Structure 1
C-alpha cells in the first residue's frame, strides 16, 4: 500500500516539474570538445529522465543475470520445503485419525524433504506413528531424544509421562511431571500429576508449595487454585489435629476462609477450636457453613460441642440450628434425634414427619422406627418403618469415582484424584432389584416343597396332606393361614392350627406337599409382617412381605 502511494507521489512530482518547465521556455547550451550543443530546456529534461531510466533497467538486467543461480536454487528449495510441510501436515492428520501406515509414510517423506533440525514436529510425527504401529520402545526413544531440544523438551516429558502412566510406573510418571512443573509451572497436567503424587504420600506442605508456584492468570484458574489449596489445608489440619491443634486451627481457618461452604474445613476448624476451649468461635464457624450447606456432621459436632451438656441442652442447640435453616430435612432430622435422646417423643415424631414431607429417605424412616420402639415398643409398627426405609431413597454420602465413604478424604481411593469426594446421593444399589424379586417369593415362615421327606413323620404328613380335601377359602369359619399377629395379640404366642384345618389353596390350586401340617413359626426380624392397618389381611390368609 505504501509503495503504491510512493509511486503515485513520484509521478505527481514529475508531472508538476514538467509542467513548470513547459511554462518557462529556455535553451540549454553545452560546449564539449570544441562543439557547442544547444537544446531546449524541456528536451534536456526528458533526455536526463530517459538516461536515468535506461541505467536502472540495465542495472536490473545485470543483477538478475548475476543472481540467477541463487534464485533458481531458492525456487527449488522453497518448492521442496512446501512439499515437506504438506507431507508433514498430511501425516499429522493421519496420526490423529489413527492411520498408522499413512502416518509412517508421510513421516519418512517429510524427513527426506525437511531437515529434522529445522522442523521438530517431524520427531512428534515419528513418535505418533510408532505408537500407532505398537512400537512403544521406539516412541519412548523419540520422546527421550526430544529432551535435548529446549523447544521440544516439554513435549518429550509429556510423552514419557503418558507412557509411564500406561505402564503403571507411578514413580517415573511423577518424576517426569515434576520436571515439567519446574520448567513450566502453568502446565495443568504436570501440576495435577505432581499434586497426586505428593498427596498420595501425605506431603501436604510440598503440595502446597507446588500449588503456590503455579501462576494463575484467569478468574477460573484462580478459583480452581484457591479451591485445591483449601482442600490441601484441610487435609493438613486433619492430619495434625491430634498432635498440633494450633497448626490445625490455623490451616483449617484459612481453608474455611478460601471456601466458606466447604464442610470438612469447617468441621476441622471447629474441632480444633473446641479443643482450645473456644466454644463461641467454633460454633460461629459451624453456624456459618450450616446456613450455606446443611450437613449432618456439622449438626452432630455442633450439638456435642460441650461434652457435659444434658440431653435437653443438646436439644436446645439443635433447635437453634433449625432456626438458622428452616424447611430443611437435616434441620428436622437433627431436632428429631435430639428430642428422642431427651425423651420428647411427641416433638421427635413431629420433626420426623416434617422431614418425611420435605424429603423422604432412609434415615427418616429409620429414625421413625427408633421413635416407635422407644415410645410404644410396637414391633409391628417398627418393622413397617424398617420396610419403608428399605425401599426409600438412599441418604447422601461422600462419593468419589463410584466409591461411597463414611468420611471425607482429600483424595479418591480409586484414582488418587484431589478433591474428588462430593456430598450427594449415591447410585441406587442392586439390593433394590433383589427386594423387588423378594416380593414374589414365598413367605419366609412357609418352607419350600420337598420332593422326598427325610423322616417317617414327614411321610405321614405328606399322606395326610394329600388325603384331606381342602375347603374353599371364602368361608369365614375357616382357620386363618399363619400370619403375623395383630398389635392386640402381639404379646401372646401363636397357637398351632388343628391337623384337619389346612390352609386354603390360592386360586384353586392344590396344596403343595410338606405345607399342610407345618407348625407356625415366628416371623424373622427382617420380615415386617402384616401391616396393622390392613384389616383384610387377617381374613384373606395372604402374606405381605413389605
Structure 2
C-alpha cells in the first residue's frame, strides 16, 4: 500500500514537472569539443529522465543474472519446506484424530523434508504417534529429549508429568511439576499441580509463595488468588492452633480479610483468641461471621466460648445469636439445644418445632427425639420422631468429590484438589426436583404423634446409668414367680407323646437367675400354650 502511494506521488510529480516546462518554453544550448548542441528544454528533460530509467533497468538485469543461482536454490528450498510443513500439519491433525498410521507416515515425511533441529514439532508429532500406538517408552524418550532443548523444555516436562501420573508415580510427577513451575510459574498446569502437592505435604509457606508468583504472573485473577490464599492461611493456622495461638490468630485474621465469608477462618481465629483469653474480640469475630452466614459450628463455638459458663449463660448466648438472625433454622436449633441442656423442655420443643416448620430437616427431628427422651422417655414418641428424621432431607455437611467430612479440610482426600469442600447437603438431595408429598410437614408429624403412655419419673442426676438400673429392676420384678396359685388348666389338645419314662419322676424345673425370664424375642409360640390376651399392644 505504501509503495503504491509513493508510485502515485512520483507520477504526479513528473506530470506536474513536464506541464510546468511545457508552459515555459525555451532552448538548451550545449557546446562540447567545439560543437554546438541546441535543443528545446522539454526534449532535454525527457532525454535525461529516459536515460535514468534505462540505467535502472540495466542494473536490475545485471543483479538478477548475478543472483540467479541463489534465487533458484532458495525457491526449491522454500518449496521443499512448504511440503514439509504441509505434511507436519497433516500429521498433527491425524494425531489429534487418533490416526496413528497417518501420523507416523507424516512424521517420517516431515523429517525427510524439514531438518528436525529447525522444527521441534516433528519430535512432538513422533511422541504423539508413539502414545497413540501404546509405545510409551519411546514417547518418554522423546519427551526427555525435548527437556534438553530450551525451546521445548516446557513441552517435554508436561509430557513426562502426564506419563508419571498415568503410571501412578506421584513422586516423579511432583518433581516434574515443581521443575516446570520453578522455570515457568506462568504455566497453569504446573503451578496448580505444584500448589496441590505442596499443600498435601503441609508446605504451606512454599505454597503461599508459589501462589504469589502466579498472581504476579497473572495466571489467576485476583479474586481466585485471594480465596486460595485464605484457604492456605487457614490451613496453616489450624496447624499452629495448639502450639502457637498467636501465629494461628494472625493467619486466621488475615484469611478473614481476604475472604470475609470463610467460616473455618472465623472459627480458628476465635479459638486462638479464646486461648489468649481475648473473649470479647473472639466473640466479635464470631458475631460478625454469624451475621454474614449462620453456621452451626460458629454457633457452637460462640455458645461454648467459656468452659466455666453455666447452662443458663449458654442459653443466653444462644438467644443472643437468635436476635442477630431471627427466623433462621440454625439460630432456632442452637437455642433449642441450649434449652434442652438446661432441661427447659417447653422452650426447647417450641424452638425445635419452629425450626422444623422453617425447614423440615434431619437435625430438627433428631433434636425433637432427644427432647422426647429427656422429658417423657416414651419409646413410641421417640421412634415417631426418629422415623420422621429418616424421611427428612439430610443436614448440610462439608462435602468434596462425594466425600462427607465432619469438619472442614483444605484439600479433598479423593482428588487432592485445593479448596474443594463446600457446605451443602450430601449427595445433592436438595438439588433435584421435589416430588409431591415427599416434604415432611411438622404439623402432620405432630398430629400423628402418639400420646404419652408412661411418664417416667425424672431422675435427679439424669444419668443413663440410673435409667438402665431402673429398667433392670423392672425386669427382675417381672421375672419373680407369682404368689397366687396357678389357675386350672383349660382343656387343650393332647400333647404329643413323649418317650416312655416308667419308674421316673418328673424332674424339678431349673432355677431361674436373678435377671432371668423370657427373652425379648421368645421365638416361635407353642400352639399348645395359652393364647395371648387380645388387649396386649403389639409393636410389630
TM-score, normalised by the number of residues in structure 2: 0.79
Q: Is the 8 A contact 1:397 1:426 kept in 2?
A: yes
Q: Is the 8 A contact 1:318 1:335 kept in 2?
A: yes
Once the two structures are superposed, the pairs formed by residues 12-161 of structure 1 within 5 Å of their partners are 12-161=12-161
Once the two structures are superposed, the pairs formed by residues 173-192 of structure 1 within 5 Å of their partners are 173-192=173-192
User: How far apart are residue 316 of structure 1 and its match?
Assistant: 0.7
Once the two structures are superposed, the pairs formed by residues 258-269 of structure 1 within 5 Å of their partners are 258-269=258-269
**Pair 1:486–1:53, CA change in 2 (3 A):** closer
In 2: Cα distance, 1:32 partner to 1:331 partner: 117
In 1: Cα distance, 2:86 partner to 2:144 partner: 26
SS in 1 for 2:7: helix
1:394-430: CA deviations, max 9, x gaps?
Answer: 111111111111111111111222111111111179x
In 2: Cα distance, 1:149 partner to 1:219 partner: 24
1:306-360: CA deviations, max 9, x gaps?
Answer: 1111111101101111111122211111111011111211111111111111111
Match of 1:321 in 2: 321
Match of 1:475 in 2: none
Please state if 1:293 is matched with 2:293.
Answer: yes
In 1: Cα distance, 2:307 partner to 2:42 partner: 116
User: How far apart are residue 486 of structure 1 and its match?
Assistant: 7.8
SS in 1 for 2:294: coil
Q: Is the 8 A contact 2:110 2:122 kept in 1?
A: yes
**Pair 1:20–1:544, CA change in 2 (3 A):** farther
In 2: Cα distance, 1:248 partner to 1:499 partner: 83
**Pair 1:279–1:158, CA change in 2 (3 A):** same
SS in 1 for 2:418: coil
In 2: Cα distance, 1:131 partner to 1:63 partner: 52
User: How far apart are residue 218 of structure 1 and its match?
Assistant: 5.6
Please state if 1:348 is matched with 2:326.
Answer: no
1:354-393: CA deviations, max 9, x gaps?
Answer: 1111111111111001111112222111110011111111
Q: Is the 8 A contact 1:264 1:408 kept in 2?
A: yes
TM-score, normalised by the number of residues in structure 1: 0.78
Which protein, 1 or 2, shows the higher relative CO under an 8 Å CA cutoff with sep ≥ 6?
1
Q: Is the 8 A contact 1:185 1:215 kept in 2?
A: no
SS in 2 for 1:382: helix
- Residue ranges of structure 1 left out of the alignment (5+ in a row): 430-484, 501-513, 523-537
Match of 2:505 in 1: none
Match of 2:279 in 1: 279
SS in 1 for 2:322: helix
In 2: Cα distance, 1:111 partner to 1:124 partner: 12
Q: Is the 8 A contact 1:216 1:225 kept in 2?
A: no
User: How far apart are residue 517 of structure 1 and its match?
Assistant: 4.4
User: How far apart are residue 209 of structure 1 and its match?
Assistant: 2.2
Q: Is the 8 A contact 2:267 2:286 kept in 1?
A: yes
SS in 2 for 1:307: coil
1:86-144: CA deviations, max 9, x gaps?
Answer: 11111111111111111111111111112222222222111111111111111111111
Q: Is the 8 A contact 1:249 1:268 kept in 2?
A: yes
Match of 1:202 in 2: 202
**Pair 1:91–1:515, CA change in 2 (3 A):** farther
Match of 2:398 in 1: 398
In 2: Cα distance, 1:317 partner to 1:203 partner: 38
In 2: Cα distance, 1:131 partner to 1:499 partner: 89
SS in 1 for 2:242: coil
When structure 1 is superposed on structure 2, of 206-215 and 132-141 the one drifting more is 206-215
In 2: Cα distance, 1:257 partner to 1:39 partner: 94
- Residue ranges of structure 2 left out of the alignment (5+ in a row): 430-449, 457-473, 479-489, 493-523
Aligned length: 458
In 2: Cα distance, 1:95 partner to 1:64 partner: 44
Match of 1:376 in 2: 376
In 1: Cα distance, 2:357 partner to 2:77 partner: 81
1:201-221: CA deviations, max 9, x gaps?
Answer: 222222222222323466962
Coordinate RMSD, CA, aligned: 2.9
User: How far apart are residue 246 of structure 1 and its match?
Assistant: 1.2
Q: Is the 8 A contact 1:394 1:428 kept in 2?
A: no
SS in 1 for 2:255: helix
In 1: Cα distance, 2:250 partner to 2:217 partner: 27
